[in-house]
Amino acid sequence: MSKGNILIVDDNKSILSALEIFLTPEFQIVTTLTNPNQIPTELRRKEYNIVLLDMNFNAGINSGNEGIYWLGRIKETNPEISVVMITAYGDIELTVKALKLGATDFFLKPWDNNKLLATLKSALQLSLSKKEVSQLKEKEKGLKTEINREPKNIVGSSPQLVQMMTMVQKVARTDANVLITGENGTGKELIAHEIHRLSARSREVLVSVDMGAITETLFESELFGHVKGAFTDARESRSGKFEIADKGSLFLDEIGNLSFHLQSKLLAAIQNRQISKVGSNQNIPIDIRLICATNKNLESMVHEGLFREDLLYRINTIQIEVPPLRERGADILVLAEFFLRKYATKYNKPNLKINQQAQDKLLNYAWPGNIRELQHTIEKAVILSEGNALKSEDFFMRPSVNEKVTESDLTLEEMEKRMISFSIGKNNGNLSAVAEQLGISRQTLYNKMKKFGI
């Protein structure tokens, strides 16, 4: 069992010295105070399990009210701390009052060393048990939030998706750190959930953190947690995402948005496999499977001095690239149908279909916003639709963006790669049909697929 930390508060310096000499071999930290007004500052500065508290601090006053006051203050801000009261003037009524307000025990001066030590050891066990229960309750709150997230599906059967999912299945069986890369809206979070679902940690929780949405001032509190009173708005202790994810998986989305000076704090937690809450010096071991995602080129950021190279090595034991929607061919229509059914049900339009002309329009659009853009486009079309058929004019695209992506920004090789990928998806992987559609031989098609890594 931990030796624990004890704070002794008494206005008699001789008593403090005697107790410090007696208890130092028995506790990890023994701190003494003569002025009770210093108690709040000391409890914020260091984590204590026990406070041994005198009842009277002003000469000539033996009512015990000062001790009762400070007992209430301690239990209000630090309910897990065991408070043992000690006084030269005691009566039954005062003892009962102290115990009702949360005191663990009550001792009269002079004391018996053996009895006092036994009481303090019991108080330590009680404090540790309360702390464990409190941590479990904090973690339960976080777990409920994470567990109640809406489950999502991975939809599609294109060769690009199948190839990526094969890699996902291999990686999921290990505990290796994974970096998921890809454009915005491609479904990187879904891949993270799938890795967790297929892993040995699937019975535990996957905790997701949007690194781009966390302000720098709240970074440590959000990821590592804080103790009550650590800062102005810390009205209660809170577990951070690392602690909530213990034994499970932690997904850090938009990792490329983390500022350079905060990257070192994240690296330390990942490297040491332990964290300490804001306002606490106690190290908490953590056992997580780390999954990160970004739409940025982290290697380029390393060269530009914007991302730590040692952090990059830590997070990308395995890298998985999620293909953009424009390279997934017929998956566009599969996803469109999936979202159509979802929003047709939501908006009570059960008989909706997408006509052929509209399907062609969906297939020929480059989808710079990927699956997220497709989802919003389908929802908008369902809301504004009249009748049972969604027509081409029901879908509002961004032609200028499409034109820019498909022509201005692409080299000849990139356009060729896109045409082949699109044709493979459209023909459901039938390479003979793909070669015929493109007007090339199967051997030429194989060569080009090998060249482009398709």
Tens of pLDDT, residues 235-276: 777 889 999 999 999 999 999 999 998 999 999 999 999 999
Structure confidence at residue 405 (pLDDT): 44
Burial label, 137 (beta-carbon count in 10 A; 0-12, 13-18, 19+): exposed
Q: What does the pLDDT read at residue 404?
A: 40
Q: What is the pLDDT of residue 78?
A: 85
pLDDT in tens, 292-310: 999 999 999 999 999 999 9
The whole-number pLDDT of residue 377 equals: 94
CATH superfamily, with its number, for domain 159-321: P-loop containing nucleotide triphosphate hydrolases (3.40.50.300)
DSSP state of 278: B
CATH 1.10.8.60 range(s) for the chain read: 325-452
- How many other β-carbons are positioned within 10 Å of the β-carbon of residue 413? 11
Q: What is the pLDDT of residue 353?
A: 94
Residue 62: its pLDDT value, please? 67
Amino acid at 16: L
CA distance 234 to 247: 26
pLDDT of 443: 81
Residue 147, φ and ψ in degrees, nearest 5: -65, -30
Strand 50-54, strand 82-87: pairing = parallel
Name the fold adopted by 5-132.
Rossmann fold (3.40.50)
Q: According to the model, what pLDDT value does residue 250 have?
A: 95
pLDDT of residue 254: 93
Beta-ladder partners of 105: 84
CA pseudo-torsion sign 392, 395, 398, 402: negative
According to the model, what pLDDT value does residue 67 have?
A: 87
pLDDT, residue 16, reads: 92
Residue numbers of the chain with a pLDDT score lower than 50: 1, 148, 400-408
pLDDT of residue 279: 86
Taking a C-beta distance cutoff of 8 angstroms, is the pair 165, 158 a contact? no
- Neighbouring-strand partners of residue 294: 181
pLDDT computed for residue 401 by the predictor: 41
Residues of the chain with CATH 3.40.50.300: 159-321
* DSSP tag of 408: I
Q: Answer yes or no: are the C-beta atoms of 127 and 50 closer than 8 Å.
A: yes
Instruction: Quote the CA–CA distance of 110 and 101 in Å, as a whole number.
Output: 24
Residue 345 is predicted with a pLDDT of: 94
Predicted pLDDT at 39: 93
- Secondary structure tally for the chain: helices H, strands E: 19, 16
* CATH architecture observed for domain 325-452: Orthogonal Bundle (1.10)
E-only strand ranges, 277-417: 284-285, 289-294, 318-321, 353-354, 389-390
- Global pTM reads 0.61
